[in-house]
Amino acid sequence: MHIEKRLDELGLVLPEPMRLPPGAELPFPWVRIHGDRAYVSGHGPLAADGSLAEPLGKVGDRLTREQGYQAARLTGLAILASLKRELGDLDRITGWLRVYGMVNTAPGFTETPGVINGFSDLILQLWGPEQGRHARSAVGLAELPYSIPVEIEAEVAIT
114-151: per-residue pLDDT in tens?
999 999 999 999 999 999 999 999 999 999 999 999 99
* Mean pLDDT of the region 68-93: 98
Query: Please, what is the average pLDDT of the chain?
Result: 97
Give the pLDDT score at 1.
75
The pLDDT score that the predictor gives to residue 21 is 87
Q: Is the pTM of this model over 0.75?
A: yes
More confident residue, 21 or 58: 58
Q: Could you read off the pLDDT of 33-58 as tens digits, one per residue?
A: 999 999 999 999 999 999 999 999 99
Domain 2-14+29-158 falls under CATH 3.30.1330.40: yes
Percent of the chain residues topping a pLDDT of 90: 98
Q: Domain extents for the chain?
A: 2-14+29-158
User: DSSP string of the chain?
Assistant: -HHHHHHHHTT--PPPSP-PPTT----S-SEEEETTEEEEEEE--B-TTSSBPSPPS-BTTTB-HHHHHHHHHHHHHHHHHHHHHHHS-GGGEEEEEEEEEEEEB-TT---HHHHHHHHHHHHHHHHHHHHS--EEEEEEES--GGG-SEEEEEEEEE-
